[in-house]
Amino acid sequence: MKKTWFITGASSGLGKIMTAKLLARGDQVIATARRTEALQDLLNAHADRLHVVLLDLLDTARIRATVDHAFERFGRIDVIVSNAGYGLFGASEQLDDEQIERLLATNLIGSIQLIRASLPHLRAQGGGRIVQVSSEGGQIAYPGFSLYHASKWGIEGYVEAVAQEVATFGIDFIIAEPGPTQTNFAAALDLTPPSGCYQDTPVGKVYHLIANGEFEIRGDAANTVDAIIDAADSSHPPLRLALGSTAYENIRRALTERLDSLEARRDIALSADRRGD
């Protein structure tokens, strides 16, 4: 059975690869992007099943209007893919306010508003699925990516709560968590070189790995997209889906360390309870 997908950030990276794969198998896609010309090749080949829309997630009113129009035009949308976003690197205190506000407005607030705009329509049609493209950075942290992590940890917490709110309506979520993957993420990265006292810190070390192209990237973009599509097609998808060996290893290590730390302080945690009157 052919599906209809709504994908943000479809002009490049995972979003464009996903759009191409879905069109190739015969599905219908509403693809949104800030650079719609980047989708012209796919539009030329699939004009009957690809609908391209200009959308910037900084514009909340436009998000709502675009989602409303998509459901009105196509009747039913099976899967919403919240994929748009980018990375920001730099020592936290050396980032400027505009960088921080733009990143959070795009990665966090924009994703939240897309989901909020979609929920009434998914309820009305009796259910649906939302894929939130996050990152291994939604559960772990690298120095220099503090604000990026804030956006990803934030959207994962939001989705985990909303998934419980709407499960009774037949709406479910997948949080996709790719590790470093061969996409244009690095090219689009807002990169602030560390200066002064931060040059010889972990921030500086990570910066030089990125700047010199030495940051290890194991993930394959096409395989990552295949795994996301397979999960979205499944009858009982996982809430979280780690993608790539780096993501698996890093998330497993972080969760294990976190659980060990929690258990080591069990007595302290329990001591904070009220005692008998």
* Residue 152 known to be catalytic: yes
Question: Collapsing DSSP states into helix, strand and coil, what is residue 181?
Answer: strand
Q: Is the torsion defined by CA of 223, 227, 233, 234 positive or negative? A: positive
Selected catalytic residue, list 134, 135, 146, 151: 134
The answer to whether the CB of 241 falls within 8 A of the CB of 175 is yes
With a CB cutoff of 8 Å and minimum separation 6, the contacts of 165 are none
- Known catalytic residue at 148: yes
Q: Catalytic residue among 3, 152, 198, 207, which? A: 152
- Catalytic residue (one of 142, 148, 198, 207): 148
Q: Quick check: 237 and 81 in contact, CB under 8 A?
A: no
CB 5 within 8 A of CB 78: yes
Which of 186, 246, 180 lies closest to 211 in space, CA to CA? 186
Q: In whole angstroms, what is the distance from residue 154 CA to residue 206 CA? A: 23
Active site residues: 134, 148, 152
